[in-house]
A = this chain, B = another copy of it.
Amino acid sequence: MAHWFVSHGRDEFPRWREAFPAARLVSAADAKLLAMPGDAVWIMDDTPQWPSLAMPLGQRGVIVVIMSLAPSGHDALQALQAGARGYLHALAKPALMEQAALVTQNQGIWVPADLMGRVLGATYQALGGEPRLPSDELSALTERERDVALAVARGKSNKEVARHLDITERTVKAHLGAVFRKLGVRDRMQLVLRLGQHAEVS
């Protein structure tokens, strides 16, 4: 199985060579001619009309991976839609690139974990899935935990919440810890992002 790299710029990407010493850097036109089914073609997203290059390759059974210096959820979705099986940062560690190669060669899809959530969330909701109602989230909490969660979601510090609810800061932490556990978030930032639009209550 051969590896081909397509990049518009003249930039050198030593990580590519490190991960795949036998790979060749080719033009977009050459990639179309040279890549055989089962081969892997790594395309930098600075390549003009890269979706138009990825699509026919993907349909021919070529494994296409799009690489970007500035990955975004939108581009990841576009890449997958264009037939790419992977999307990752152009400066990813060689070990990560090899992992992506392994995954894509086995019919898997490789997308950075942080992009996954947003891509899928947007996709799922676009298809009419439940937008994950905050009220559902909150129903799992006790009344006191809900008070604390909503206050924190409005940007209050533990100390401020404690004053507002007339309890000690330690108790706020206790409730907050329960909230984190029940909602499966790791800190108050994640909580704000999940309950963000629900921050209108006093």
Contact = CB atoms under 8 A, between A and B. Distances in A.
Nearest to A99: B106
Interface residues of A, number: 60
A122 B81 CA distance: 9
B123 A119 contact: yes
Contact of A107 (B103, B119, B157, B193): B103
Contact of A202 (B70, B81, B127, B131): B70
- How many copies of this protein are present in the complex? 2
A111 B100 CA distance: 15
B71 A202 contact: yes
Contacts of A113: 107
A187 to B, nearest CB: 8
A124 B81 contact: yes
A120 interface: yes
Interface string A147-163: 00000001111000000
A201 B99 CA distance: 26
Contacts of A155: 189-190, 192-193
Interface string A88-132: 000100000001101110111111011010111111101101111
A78 interface: yes
A126 B129 contact: no
Interface of A: 55-56, 59, 70-75, 77-78, 80-81, 91, 99-100, 102-104, 106-111, 113-114, 116, 118-124, 126-127, 129-132, 154-157, 164, 166, 184, 187-190, 192-193, 196-197, 199-202
5 residue pairs, one from A and one from B, having the closest CB atoms: A103-B108, A108-B108, A72-B202, A109-B109, A81-B124
